[in-house]
Chains A and B, each alone.
Chain A
Amino acid sequence: MVKFKPNTEVDFVVIGSGAAGGIMAKELSVAGFSVVVLEQGGPGKYGHEQDYNKDELLNMYPPTADDRLMSDLKLQPNTFRRNANEKAEPGNSRYGCVLGGGTVTYGGSSWRHLPYEFNEATHEGTIAGTGLVDWPITYDELEPYYTKAEWELGISGLRVDTPFFAPMSKPYPVPPMPQKASGALLKVAAAKLGLTVVPNVAAIISQPYMGRPGCINCGMCSGFGCQVKARSSSAVTMIPIAENTGRCEIRTRSYVREISVGKNGRVTGAVYFDAKKNEIFQKAKAVVLSANGLETPRLLLLSKSNRFPDGLANSNGVVGRYLMSGNFSNASGLFEHPLNEYKGIVSGAAILDYVPSDPKRGFYGGGRMTGRGQEEPIQYGLQVGAHRPVVVRGDRGQPEPNQSGPQTPKWGAEYKKLLQEDANRKMTIASFITQLPLETNRVDLDPDVKDAWGLPAMRITASTHPDDVKCMEFFRQRSIEILHAAGATSVSAEPVSDSRGGAHSRGTCRMGNDPQTSVVNKYHRTHEVPNLIVVDGSSFVTGGRNHPTMTIQALAFRAAEHLIADARKGSV
């Protein structure tokens, strides 16, 4: 495998190896460029994926640093506050932190944005106090790259002909994953309520594809590494191709602390700590930053220089703003017979009818509902009963929101009875919902808290827009109706809550044509630094329906194509 010396100027340093970084490394190295990938996480079980454990306890308590797949709040702490007047408290935002990033452990939902989701400001009008604007690119411009991503990565799905499903120039390369009991129950409800249920679109192959075997439905899925390489992560799709070019060196446990700037205002490489915390400067002609919607803006803000005293590419102060971390709504029902949702992938089916915004509802927003119910045994045992605070139907059969039920037993004979009775009988409807981009919702540097390398921790500031609260409540109510229609014997629904960071974070280096109001141009070059390319969830202008990965991947393929063409012309 190729090794570059740090003082050898490589063509590209790529920071991050997840959904975007893996694609950038693969595309650039296949095109003939030299690439060094700096990944802060460990190698995971890269190249020996059969060694990923399916052991819930080992996942909760990784025995070694090599077994850790997510960021660790002790090493990579973050803080949270609702607004600038509050002092931030310790936060709980985590993200995938291993070679392949979050794609190694994610649930795999791979929905495209609808065409309408690229110009919602045109459709909905401006919403006062928000940063809802159109993207500088259209769905048609991105469509070929969605197709490329689906076929190069391996996506299972079946397009159903409804206006709620994005148009596609080519079908999915692999048929959908098998129906689960949750999907069958959604269909029962949908038939009564006039809704449309479709198979989930997943980055988990249902059949052998490109040398990888199909999913064996082991059930230890989201949060676990895949032993049979059926999850189409960057680590089993893009990274091996990049390495095989002989032009791409992967350096794991490489924690970047600064992107360096020369006197001419161009970036010159990246300074990182290796596993032993030695500081190393890797020289490069250009830097691709794909560290995720939270770490990407943080690294730009950490990269202060005389030329950029407020952080790299941040003269306009937009870096870190318009954070969208993901709005959700969850409701659960218990059913008479076992669903056994612990088998198979997390979510096998979705309801699309409420994806578009509808002015008749009286607020902006929409979302995608998914049926699921996977719980690992310990997680189930610790939480059983929490889903039993009954939301009773009111006098007219309407669900009553916000009604908490009796305390459920936590130990003893009654607890054990509950543990046995409720096992495998739950379905949850998880809705993935819009979130308005707000200038005041942001990532910046905490003035007090430091990470394990002595660098300022990320601070998240976020409040929820009233339309988003109404939208989450709308989905909560629809979920309760659907669960009743599906025949649930009892239904409960968590109160809607604010998002506080996490792996779906987007929008923090937004794309735009105007250098005053955005960070990157439509080809992902930063407006201020021509040889600094930022591509990941941070590029999003609006959040879609909170299923970001496929759009990140399509953006990366598109960004790479333009970057390669420019680099060949010598204009990076």
Chain B
Amino acid sequence: MTMQTRRSFLAQSALGVSSAWLASNWSGIIDAHAYAEQTASAPAPALDFFSSDQAADIDAMASQIIPTDDTPGAHEARCVYFIDRALTTFLRDSQPVYTAGLEDLQAKTKELFPDSSSFSALASAQQIQLLTAIERTHFFATVRTHTIMGLLASPVHGGNYDEVGWKLIGHEDALNFKPPFGYYDAESE
């Protein structure tokens, strides 16, 4: 299937290439872009909102929400960086939820595991035990929602690194598709 990524398309739009032109010159530009799109491993970005301790706790929470097993999870998707950037831009309103929620998380950690220094330092089973205890809180629901967004939003927003989220759900990053689209329409042709 010929395809072009949405990102490279947006980059082209910025150069003023008209969509009509694209529609009629599709196949010629595909290969060049596929080549240019090979993703290099990029270093993790700097944090704008979280301290490094806070980021470690949120990363640990996100990694329990969407764990890493034989496939990548929230950690590899860099969800914490997505959330960090979002909290200084379009999710600014959620800042107090995180500030208070992280304090509560710290307190809950001390309460359940007095010997531990932080949530991120807990063993996985302990983290699951703690999160199960708070899974009905607004803070947990907020982190869950933002972790899923970070996994599945376009990588331009800082998460879904290397499209690991889209790969998990078999979502192809292409601007155009050609039928057949799925198994059953292909079968009936």
Give the B-binding residues of A (Cβ under 8 A): 49-51, 53-57, 61, 63, 178-181, 183-185, 187-188, 213-214, 216-219, 227-229, 335, 337-344, 377-378, 380-382, 410-413, 415-416, 419-420, 423-424
B47-75 interface code vs A (CB 8 A; 1 in, 0 out): 00000000000000000111101010100
Tell me, in angstroms, the Cα distance from A340 to B179 when the chains sit together.
11
Given the interface contacts A63-B90, A184-B188, does A381 sit within 8 Å of B182 by beta carbon?
no
Of A61, A219, A340, A416, the residue contacting B66 (CB under 8 A) is A416
Contact A217 B169 (CB under 8 A): no
Q: For the complex formed, measure the closest distance between the CB of A205 and the CB atoms of chain B, giving whole angstroms.
A: 12
B153 touches A179 (CB 8 A): no
Who on chain A is nearest to B12 by CB? A50
**A415:B65 contact, CB within 8 angstroms:** yes
Q: Knowing that A179-B179, A218-B174, A412-B128 are A-B contacts, what are 13 other residue pairs whose CB atoms are under 8 Å apart, sorted by A's residue number?
A: A50-B17, A50-B18, A55-B6, A57-B153, A340-B181, A343-B172, A344-B177, A344-B179, A377-B169, A378-B153, A380-B169, A410-B144, A415-B66
* Most-contacted residue by chain A among B13, B91, B128 (CB, 10 A): B13
When distances are taken between beta carbons in the complex, the residues of chain A under 8 Å from B183 are 181, 337-339
Residue interface bits B160-189, CB-to-A below 8 A is 1, else 0: 000001101111101111111111110110
Q: State which of A54, A180, A377, A410 has its C-beta within 8 Å of the C-beta of B182.
A: A180
From residue B157, how far is it (CB to closest CB) to chain A in Å? 6
User: Do B152 and A341 have beta carbons less than 8 Å apart?
Assistant: no
Q: Do residues A216 and B176 form an inter-chain contact, with CB atoms below 8 A?
A: yes
In order of increasing CB-CB distance, the 5 nearest A-B pairs are A181-B182, A337-B183, A216-B176, A423-B169, A377-B152
Asked if residues B90 and A219 are in contact (CB atoms below 8 Å), the reply is no
A184 to B187, CA, bound (A): 9
CA A342 to CA B157, docked complex, whole Å:
21
Complex interface: chain A residues within 8 A of B6 (CB): 54-55
Contact between chains at B153 and A56 (CB < 8 Å): yes
Q: How far is the CA of A63 from the CA of B69 in the complex (A)?
A: 35
Contact of B135 among A183, A219, A411 (CB under 8 A): A411
Instruction: Check if B175 sits within 8 Å of A381, measured CB to CB.
Output: no
CB of B67 within 8 A of CB of A412, answer yes
Q: Chain B residues near A213 (CB, 8 Å)?
A: 19-20, 23-24
B145 lies within 8 A of chain A by Cβ: yes
Q: Is B154 an interface residue (CB 8 A)?
A: yes
Do A184 and B184 touch across chains, with their CB atoms under 8 A apart?
A: yes
Decide: B67 and A413 in contact? CB cutoff 8 A: yes
CB contact under 8 A between A178 and B179, given known A228-B23, A381-B169: yes
Tell me which of A51, A183, A416, A423 contacts B185 (CB under 8 A): A183
Give bound CA distance, A566 to B152, whole Å: 56
A410 to B90, CA, bound (A): 24
Residues of A within 8 A of B178 (CB): 217
Q: Is the CB of B184 within 8 A of A335?
A: yes
Taking the closest CB of chain B, its distance from the CB of A93, in whole angstroms, is 23
- Nearest A residue to B168, CB-CB: A420
Residues of A within 8 A of B154 (CB): 55-57
In whole angstroms, how far apart are the Cα atoms of A341 and B178 in the complex?
A: 12
Residues in A neighbouring B123, C-beta threshold 8 A: none
